A and B are shown apart, each in its own frame.
Chain A
Amino acid sequence: DSGVTQTPKHLITATGQRVTLRCSPRSGDLSVYWYQQSLDQGLQFLIQYYNGEERAKGNILERFSAQQFPDLHSELNLSSLELGDSALYFCASSVHEAGELFFGEGSRLTVL
């Protein structure tokens, strides 16, 4: 158990819908990262927050947004969902920005 909690573990929804994925980092970790992993694809970096502030952005679609709240948990919002958004979405946290990443178990999103 890495100490990073993600909910929900599984989510099935329809195209055009909107979902919110939630992540609670390890106690004491200030940095949160979101990654997307599609079938046969590597981990694609989406976005990173540090102590509530956006710090780095990867190839995150405009339909996706995220934020980190004062209690350091983070949410990833995915809207106007398409079939290709079906993937495992991982959240990871680290003590500081240059630290080792600890991953949650992931949220598996299926868009039908």
Chain B
Amino acid sequence: GQNIDQPTEMTATEGAIVQINCTYQTSGFNGLFWYQQHAGEAPTFLSYNVLDGLEEKGRFSSFLSRSKGYSYLLLKELQMKDSASYLCAVRDSSGAGSYQLTFGKGTKLSVIP
């Protein structure tokens, strides 16, 4: 099984930077994803890390340390529309070519003026 932990809620100010952390434990790590989900809507893909280091994509960056079982999502120049839940998901390889993507409970980010 997997254990994925991320903060339940965070609040940040418009224009600021926020870092959302995620820690995980898994036996067959095969990649880490970040998804954004607005209330009542479908999750949408933000980023993917499989090797250690930082992946930058516009205002969003994601970092991974496999040895520490740790990732973070960095959001810069926050906008009101960034208010959403951010889901950390770990892909686990269970062998025989089978993969499973397990999601954390998500971090609800509120951006305030």
* Interface of A toward B, CB cutoff 8 Å: 2, 33, 35, 41-43, 45, 48, 55-56, 58, 88, 90, 97-98, 100-106
Q: Determine which of B30, B45, B87, B103 lies in contact with A100 in the assembled complex, contact meaning CB atoms within 8 Å.
A: B45
B59-97 interface code vs A (CB 8 A; 1 in, 0 out): 000000000000000000000000000010101001001
Is the beta-carbon distance between B97 and A41 smaller than 8 angstroms? no
Interface size class of B (residues with CB under 8 A): 20 to 34
Residue numbers in B under 8 Å from A45 (CB-CB): 100-103
On whether A42 and B100 interact (CB within 8 A), knowing A100-B45, A101-B45, A104-B42, the answer reads no
> How far is it, in angstroms, between the C-alpha of A48 and the C-alpha of B92 when the chains are bound?
13
Partner of A55 from B40, B44, B98 at Cβ < 8 Å: B98
Q: A35-B103, A88-B40, A106-B41 given. 10 additional CB < 8 A pairs?
A: A2-B44, A41-B105, A43-B89, A45-B100, A97-B98, A98-B30, A98-B31, A100-B45, A105-B42, A106-B42
- In the assembled complex, the Cα of A103 lies from the Cα of B87 at a distance in Å of 13
Contact surface of B with A, Cβ cutoff 8 Å:
30-31, 33, 40-45, 48, 87, 89, 91, 94, 97-106
Chain A residue nearest to B8 in the complex (CB): A40
Residues of B within 8 A of A101 (CB): 33, 45, 101
Q: Is the CB of B42 within 8 A of A2?
A: yes
Docked complex Cα distance between A41 and B103 (Å): 10
A56 touching B45, Cβ below 8 Å: no
Residues of B with C-beta under 8 A to A33? 101
Which residue on chain A has the smallest CB distance to residue B4?
A: A42
C-alpha gap A88/B87 in the complex (Å)? 16
A35 to B35 Cα, complex, angstroms: 14
* Partner of B44 from A48, A88, A98, A103 at Cβ < 8 Å: A103
On whether the beta carbons of A56 and B48 are closer than 8 Å, the reply is no
Provided the pairs A45-B102, A97-B99, A100-B48 are in contact, do residues A56 and B94 lie with their beta carbons within 8 angstroms?
Answer: yes
Q: Given the known A-B contacts A56-B100, A97-B99, A98-B99, are A43 and B43 also in contact in the complex, defined by CB atoms under 8 Å?
A: yes
Which A-chain residue is minimally distant from B94 (CB atoms)? A56
